[in-house]
A = this chain, B = another copy of it.
Amino acid sequence: MQSNTSDSPTVLVVDDDPKIRRLVAAHMSQQGFSVELAATGEEALEKAPLHQPAAVVLDISMPGIGGFEALERLREWYTDPVIILSATDQEREKVRALDLGADDYVTKPFGTEELAARLRAAIRRAERLSAPDNQSDPVVDATDFKIDLAARLVYKDDEEVRLTRTEFDLLRTLAVDAGKVLTHRHLLQEVWGPEYGAETEYLRTFVKQLRRKLENDPSRPRRILTEPGVGYRLFLE
């Protein structure tokens, strides 16, 4: 997937019929997708690189650049799923579209739930592809130590460090905004909950623990820095 993996995936819907566009747009956004629209093949080829959608829903019969040509041109660079929408049920067309690189082929009239499910399935597959999880997850690297956020593990000099729950939560909060100064209030609310904010003693205690376990010279911290009167920040080289 090429776009925002975190929030709702964007789907580019291409159809010359305004009714279909509205119908699909309404149902797909209701099903949790962000929707972009295009009325022609030309517009689709313009908007696709712009929005980097997680999938494209493409009508076959359109004036100008038709669905087949749009599909071919898209596939020159676009590797995420393309689902063909078509009014005809002809096997020839299906075979042609699929062999041109389409991921799926849905015939009008279609169920919106089904289309959504097929989109989910296609995007799910594409996500696995773009995340080549050969064992290693995204790792925050602080030279002295490394944090594997997905595995919830921390290494210092390639040796695993045992952190308690709160210690890790605090370190993670510092790490996701590494370099920035995070206020006492922000850290407390993030780790202990929204009803906290004034308990700076907690921070002192756990920052000390983290330094003891992670700093080369805990009495002279170089990674977890104090910003007097404000908060702390994690310094990555």
Contacts and interface: CB of A to CB of B under 8 A. Distances in A.
A121 B98 contact: yes
Given A150-B180, A165-B228, A180-B151, A98 B118 contact: yes
Contacts of A228: 164-165
A193 interface: no
A150 B121 CA distance: 22
Contact of A151 (B120, B179, B229): B179
A149 to B, nearest CB: 10
Chain A, interface size category, equals 35 or more
Contacts of A79: 128
A113 B125 contact: no
A146 to B, nearest CB: 14
A171 interface: no
A164 B229 contact: yes
Contacts of A125: 103, 125, 129
A198 interface: no
A94 B121 contact: no
Given A94-B113, A135-B179, 20 more contacts: A79-B128, A91-B111, A91-B113, A95-B117, A99-B117, A99-B120, A102-B121, A104-B104, A104-B121, A133-B134, A150-B180, A152-B180, A152-B181, A152-B227, A152-B230, A153-B179, A153-B180, A164-B229, A165-B227, A165-B228
29 contacts: A91-B111, A91-B114, A94-B113, A95-B113, A95-B114, A95-B117, A98-B114, A98-B118, A98-B121, A99-B121, A101-B121, A102-B121, A103-B121, A103-B125, A104-B104, A105-B118, A125-B125, A125-B129, A129-B129, A133-B134, A135-B179, A150-B180, A151-B179, A152-B181, A152-B230, A164-B228, A165-B227, A165-B228, A168-B230
